[in-house]
Structure 1
């Protein structure tokens, strides 16, 4: 799990450093994940990484039902589930009106996750919020996906350069299936992440290139 653990550690730390620099008005900015504000999107990502230690605290399941790609299957992220996670992030942000508390909660869950991971064997299985079993490495990859792609959303809302760290960015472009296409098209990592995840428009040549590969969904 060395690569995905390193990616999670580096990416979550990079995000924590950016969040610590935010000014109060920046937390109220809208994001490209409506209806969330920056504060609400931070609360969502905090909840996403908290699922690592929470899942590890439960008994390990007997088998792995999903891999990282299967985690984002439309049958899991349906309209009801999406409405619930939107509301949960709004509630969590409203419960922490002091932005310093919101940032501290993110950093706490980041550290809690790393502490939990460090005590696990490589073949550890983890139960997801939906009750499915996953290999810890596969589940941790979904957390890296959340950190990197929502990091793009936060960077855009905050008018800041994309801070995706190299190991994490490489894992996510590979997960999205656009790493080879990115090389052929001459995309840098931020461009590959934005276009591969549907966060930036494609020109006709790019559309034709991506039509040749099976893109993975991101919920």
Structure 2
């Protein structure tokens, strides 16, 4: 629970620190501006709230790693929801309204997570998992999107070291392989998910693992 709360609080604080002009800058998500990413975070927060009040019966079908699907290629942007995001973000007009909406819904999602029973079962995307595993999966989501948010904002606050480490470990579990010790946690996350191309030295260090990258999460 703690890494989720830490990662989410840090990401929301980074958004709160944005200048209005920053919303028009590119993000680390291909084809999305910072404002589009922030709008996506609003929807993510809504998903957290919905999932936490959608109980399931029986047994868990996946754990935190199993929550993620590995896609064969990156999203094309043709998905209706993906295509909606830039239009919805632009409709806010004033970026402060978008920031306010994220703070409002995001704060509620954080409170709901803190109050939830980690052992309770919930369902989302036709999967059943414990609240603890669901929130653990979102540490990877929040950390990657924090890196996306600051991709072209070098002065912006970075994700906390502890959540970078947790996110790296999660990605390695999903991959079934560890990144070389020479990789920083940020390198592992960016290179591992295709957000940054590996250097020649990193490709050599990766060995056969390089042929399995990027890991496209869906």
1:136 aligns to 2:131 (yes or no): yes
Give 1:123 shift: 1.0
1:103 and 1:76 map into 2 onto residues whose CA distance is: 33
1:119 aligns to 2:118 (yes or no): no
The equivalent position to 1:65 in structure 2, one of 61, 65, 85, is 61
Q: RMSD in angstroms over aligned alpha carbons?
A: 2.9
CA shift in 2, pair 1:76/1:98, >3 Å: farther
2:178 and 2:74 map into 1 onto residues whose CA distance is: 30
The equivalent position to 1:105 in structure 2, one of 101, 106, 122, is 101
Gaps of 5+ in 2: none
1:167 alignment counterpart: 162
DSSP 3-state at the match of 2:122: strand
TM-score, L = length of structure 2:
0.81
1:207 alignment counterpart: 203
1:158 aligns to 2:156 (yes or no): no
Deviates further, 110-119 or 67-76: 67-76
1:203 and 1:63 map into 2 onto residues whose CA distance is: 43
Give 1:169 shift: 0.7
1:164 and 1:125 map into 2 onto residues whose CA distance is: 29
Which has the larger share of helix? 1
Please give the per-residue CA displacement for 1:9-32, whole angstroms capped at 9, x wherever unaligned: 222222222222222221111223
The equivalent position to 1:27 in structure 2, one of 23, 28, 43, is 23
The equivalent position to 1:181 in structure 2, one of 179, 182, 192, is 179
DSSP 3-state at the match of 1:126: strand
1:107 and 1:158 map into 2 onto residues whose CA distance is: 20
Q: Does structure 2 conserve the Cα–Cα contact (< 8 Å) formed by 1:125 and 1:136?
A: yes
2:100 and 2:87 map into 1 onto residues whose CA distance is: 17
TM-score, L = length of structure 1:
0.81
Please give the per-residue CA displacement for 1:88-142, whole angstroms capped at 9, x wherever unaligned: 32243134222112112222233212222233222111211x2321221222122
Gaps of 5+ in 1: none
CA shift in 2, pair 1:17/1:115, >3 Å: closer
2:83 alignment counterpart: 87
1:204 and 1:67 map into 2 onto residues whose CA distance is: 35
Deviates further, 160-169 or 48-57: 160-169
2:217 alignment counterpart: 218
2:140 and 2:217 map into 1 onto residues whose CA distance is: 8
Q: Does structure 2 conserve the Cα–Cα contact (< 8 Å) formed by 1:48 and 1:143?
A: no
Number of matched pairs: 212
Give 1:82 shift: 6.3
1:133 and 1:80 map into 2 onto residues whose CA distance is: 27
**Equivalent residues in 2 for 1:10-49 (5 A)?**
10-49=6-45
Deviates further, 43-52 or 160-169: 160-169
